[in-house]
Amino acid sequence: MQIVHDYHVLHAIPELDRQLPKTLSYLKSQLSALKCRVFSPAQGAICAFFDFKMPDCIAFRADMDALPIREQTSLPWQSRHPGVMHACGHDGHTAILLELARRIDKKDVLPHNVLLIFQPAEETDGGAESICQAGVLNTYKVRAIFGLHLWPGLPKGQFFSRGGTLMSRSCGITVTFSGKSVHIANAEKGLDALYACCLFLHQAERIRLSFPFRLKFGKISGGTAGNILCDRAELWGSLRAYSENDHQQLKTALNGLCTAISQKTGCRGELCFSKGYPAVRNDIELWKRVQKNCPAKQLCRAFWTADDFSFYQQQVPGVYFLLGVGDAPPLHSPEFSFDEGVLSTGADYFLHLCEQI
């Protein structure tokens, strides 16, 4: 089956961020045989436009970039690029959209023109935003956009989503405390930046506010020796909330905590928040049309994950789906793999959206 072959080829050549020469070369070789306009709106991106002479357009997006993970699957088509792996299913997303292109190519009539967006840098700095900034959605009169993510733990081959918030607003957070380094024999003359950082970590975990949020730190660095006070320590973490208002209130609370710890310890504290991604929020009216014409399973809750598909949703109505892959290893793990049969199911569903929405 061609879609499985596409997946095998793409899985073997994982690439990072916006540097995707082999991936783009393969896509161009496949799309060039189809009746579509192929173009690149931004670095590392490629689009295919199918013109059915209609007044508007619907769009579909696939992310293409991989992760800096050493694969441990032993698959015959495993990564040929050491230390880089498609551990988040983006190769599957891309294979689905490429198959959708072939199926659209066989159609003489569709109710809308169709734009397929193959996007870089979902795992890094948000490749979706650069595509939006290029004006592609306006140029091609896109009135709705759809995307999907392969999802372990959900029933295999079934589509899931919900109206409203599906994934969280997210950003990275870096906490830095600067103190004064002295030998521990003279500790009273120094300022312990590592202690200040640990105090921040402990108290940030205890913040209790009246809205749901997720704040965790995964890395700490500081110090040069066990008997020398640390003069500079850093924490790296991630902050998530389901609304922009909650997210801003959390940032305010954390800045206040940093100030309080600086006053308590004498160390100079600084917080830095990355821009991050908006919340993935499915348009309610578009979701209702999907449920009427191409029903998906209703999710009862949102997830703490994040995805830059949300940038498209700030421009046009959009719905993001989760395609279940059953009992598979978790995303972002070196063992991640899935039953390839779900790929054809994904292409089937997207084609149904093309015909019915």
Residues 54-84 pLDDT 10s: 999 999 999 999 999 999 999 999 999 999 9
Q: Which of 17, 16, 13 is nearest to 27 (CA)?
A: 13
What does the pLDDT read at residue 109? 97
Provide the percentage of residues in the chain whose pLDDT is more than 90: 97
What does the pLDDT read at residue 271? 97
Question: What H or E segment, with its residue span, contains residue 103?
Answer: helix 90-105
Domain with CATH 3.30.70.360 in the chain: 169-273
- Confidence band of 307 (pLDDT split at 50, 70, 90): very high
What does the pLDDT read at residue 16? 98
Reading the block at residue 103, the tokens are 């199926």
Q: Which of 323, 277, 10 is nearest to 149 (CA)?
A: 323
Residue 153: pLDDT above 80? yes
Catalytic annotation on 17? no
Residue 26: pLDDT above 80? yes
Question: What H or E segment, with its residue span, contains residue 268?
Answer: strand 268-273
What does the pLDDT read at residue 279? 98
The CATH code of domain 169-273 reads 3.30.70.360
Q: Which of 327, 319, 306, 355 is nearest to 159 (CA)?
A: 319
What does the pLDDT read at residue 104? 98
Residue range 264-306, pLDDT digits in tens? 999 999 999 999 999 999 999 999 999 999 999 999 999 999 9
Residue range 155-180, pLDDT digits in tens? 999 999 999 999 999 999 999 999 99
Choose the catalytic residue: 15, 65, 91, 123: 123
What does the pLDDT read at residue 211? 73
Residue range 111-141, pLDDT digits in tens? 999 999 999 999 999 999 999 999 999 999 9
Residue 209: pLDDT above 80? no
Place of tokens 């209702």: 288
Residue 208: pLDDT above 80? no
- Mean pLDDT, residues 141-154: 98
Q: What is the mean pLDDT of the chain?
A: 97
Domain with CATH 3.40.630.10 in the chain: 2-167+279-356
Give CA–CA dist 190/181, Å, rounded.
6
Residue 212: pLDDT above 90? no
Fold of the 2-167+279-356 domain: Aminopeptidase (3.40.630)
Over the range 115-126, which residues count as b (16 or more CB within 10 Å of their CB) and which as e?
bbbbbbbbbebb
What does the pLDDT read at residue 337? 97
- Strands (E) across 103-212 are located at 113-119, 142-151, 159-161, 164-167, 169-178
Burial of 285 (0-12, 13-18, 19+ CB in 10 A): exposed
- Mean pLDDT, residues 14-36: 98
Catalytic annotation on 63? yes
Provide the percentage of residues in the chain whose pLDDT is more than 70: 100
211 against 214, higher pLDDT: 214
pTM for the full predicted model: 0.94
Choose the catalytic residue: 6, 15, 63, 246: 63
